[in-house]
């Protein structure tokens, strides 16, 4: 991370620890409960997902030519692969004959051609239509009009981002500009996936994101897991609209003195990056953990996540180390997930007409504001 930003963060944190304060917005914010329960609101958000780049895979799952991943949670079937020339490709996972799903497995390696399971039309890994059995029956068909539909795709911070609608020149670097330098500086691009999980929850997807955007709850909701590591409600929060960057402070930040030179920001807290609309990257001392949340209904979502570690563990000791680290992450998240499901039941109970975000829950308010601004195309 850029030394100037490290020093700026550590200075803010040191001063907050001394003053028993935290970053705060000017005022509290309120949002209506209806936005967590209303099917029309959900439909607008799902339409927004279709026009927004989404992190749909870990890059290390697509490292070699022939590696492939399918993804069905973003509202449409998507196929990601690395072609024979080493290029990353994303397609609608839909055969151009009569629309069957082309690749059904969740992922794998060694793919050389894509053959539809319905009538065996086949495509190469660049999406070009190659084979039509009994081709005489399709006299006059323009093959060039029946290649797979390609989607914009880009790799960043160890993840693969896809725009779920065709576009000739989507600018991923413009979209990620606010967070790119920081995340690149952590070296996540060369990290590999460890312990990938997928979890279905009975709550609105936004409740899960909100759980990652404030540290107010940590001493209470996480008292059995991570609370002892963290200072009570001390965070730095920067809006990088539509994204955000937070720094959740650990208790040892109280030891920071006047001279901050040479201090590593990863030793005194966890930088957290929220990338619009549904991605959270938590930077830990020697790895990062990643979570995406996909709405599947007003009351349902699916969380995908995993850790990005510097290299695959080569020894049993390394495996034990990463298992232990990653378990802490998932255990704490499980506490958030249980809370999220209980909150959704509370929304349905009608006790509250609105949710209130305190001045230090400002990133939750930013999240809603960024969403609201983009709901209408
Ligand atoms: S739908 Fe794919 S070959 Fe017919
Ligand atoms: Fe939490």
DSSP characters over 166-203: --SS--HHHHHHHHHHHHHHTTGGG-EEEEEEEEEESS
Nearest 5°: phi and psi at 65? -50, 135
| pLDDT in the model for residue 357 | 98
DSSP state letter for 148: P
| Residue 176, pLDDT above cutoff 90 | yes
Report all structural domains of the chain as residue ranges with CATH numbers, in order of start.
3-51+191-374 (3.90.380.10), 54-169 (2.102.10.10)
Ligand at minimal distance from the CA of 100 is: 1
- Parallel/antiparallel/unpaired status of strands 279-283 and 354-357: unpaired
CA distance 68 to 114: 11
| pLDDT in the model for residue 2 | 79
| pLDDT in the model for residue 44 | 98
| pLDDT in the model for residue 320 | 98
pLDDT in tens, 77-106: 999 999 999 999 999 999 999 999 999 999
The pair of three-digit structure tokens given for residue 301, joined into one six-digit string: 């979502």
**Range in 102-106, 237-241, 257-261 the model is least confident about:** 257-261
CA distance 366 to 368: 5
CA 121 / ligand 1 centre spacing (Å)? 6
Pocket test for ligand 1, best of 95, 146, 148 (most atoms within 8 A of CB): 95
Average pLDDT over residues 234-259: 96
| pLDDT in the model for residue 293 | 98
The pair of three-digit structure tokens given for residue 217, joined into one six-digit string: 């709850």
Nearest CA to ligand 1 atom 3: 119
Nearest to 188 by CA among 226, 150, 159, 166: 159
For residue 322, give the H/E element and its range: helix 316-349
The answer to whether 94 and 101 have CB atoms below 8 angstroms apart is yes
Query: Where does 81-234 have alpha helices with state H?
Result: 172-185, 205-212, 218-221
pTM score, two decimals?
0.97
**Using a 6 Å CB cutoff, which residues line ligand 1?**
95, 97-100, 116, 118-121
Ligand at minimal distance from the CA of 215 is: 2
Ligand at minimal distance from the CA of 220 is: 2
| Residue 1, pLDDT above cutoff 80 | no
Omega before 81 cis (within 30°)?
no
| pLDDT in the model for residue 24 | 97
| pLDDT in the model for residue 261 | 86
Average pLDDT over residues 155-168: 96
Confidence grade of residue 57 (pLDDT, cut at 50, 70, 90): very high
| Residue 377, pLDDT above cutoff 90 | no
């Amino acid at each position: 991370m850029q030394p100037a930003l490290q020093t700026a963060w550590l200075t803010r944190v040191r001063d907050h620890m001394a003053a028993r304060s935290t970053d705060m917005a000017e005022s509290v914010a309120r949002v209506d409960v209806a936005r967590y329960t209303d099917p029309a609101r959900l439909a607008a958000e799902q339409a927004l997902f279709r026009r927004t780049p989404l992190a749909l895979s870990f890059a290390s799952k697509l490292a070699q030519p022939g590696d492939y991943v399918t993804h069905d949670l973003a509202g449409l079937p998507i196929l990601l692969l690395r072609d024979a020339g080493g290029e990353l490709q994303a397609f609608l996972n839909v055969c151009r004959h009569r629309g069957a799903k082309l690749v059904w497995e969740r992922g794998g390696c060694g793919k050389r051609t894509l053959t539809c399971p319905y009538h065996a039309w086949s495509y190469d890994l660049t999406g070009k239509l190659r084979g039509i059995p009994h081709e005489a029956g399709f006299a006059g068909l323009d093959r060039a009009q029946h290649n797979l539909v390609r989607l914009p795709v880009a790799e960043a911070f160890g993840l693969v981002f896809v725009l779920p609608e065709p576009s000739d020149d989507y600018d991923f670097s413009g979209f990620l500009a606010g967070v790119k330098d920081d995340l690149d500086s952590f070296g996540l691009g060369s990290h590999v996936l460890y312990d990938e999980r997928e979890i279905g929850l009975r709550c609105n997807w936004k409740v899960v994101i909100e759980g990652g955007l404030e540290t107010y709850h940590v001493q209470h909701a996480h008292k059995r897991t991570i609370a002892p590591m963290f200072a009570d409600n001390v965070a730095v929060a920067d809006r990088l609209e539509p994204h955000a960057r937070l720094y959740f402070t650990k208790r040892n930040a109280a030891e920071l003195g006047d001279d901050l030179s040479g201090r590593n920001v990863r030793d005194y807290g966890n930088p957290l990056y929220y990338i619009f609309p549904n991605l959270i990257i938590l930077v830990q001392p020697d790895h990062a953990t990643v979570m995406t949340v996909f709405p599947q209904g007003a009351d349902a979502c699916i969380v995908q996540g995993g850790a990005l570690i510097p290299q695959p563990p080569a020894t049993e000791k390394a495996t034990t180390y990463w298992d232990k680290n990653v378990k802490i992450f998932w255990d704490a998240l499980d506490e958030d997930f249980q809370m999220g499901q209980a909150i959704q039941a509370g929304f349905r109970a009608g006790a509250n007409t609105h949710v209130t975000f305190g001045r230090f829950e400002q990133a939750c308010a930013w999240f809603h504001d960024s969403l609201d601004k983009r709901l209408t195309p």
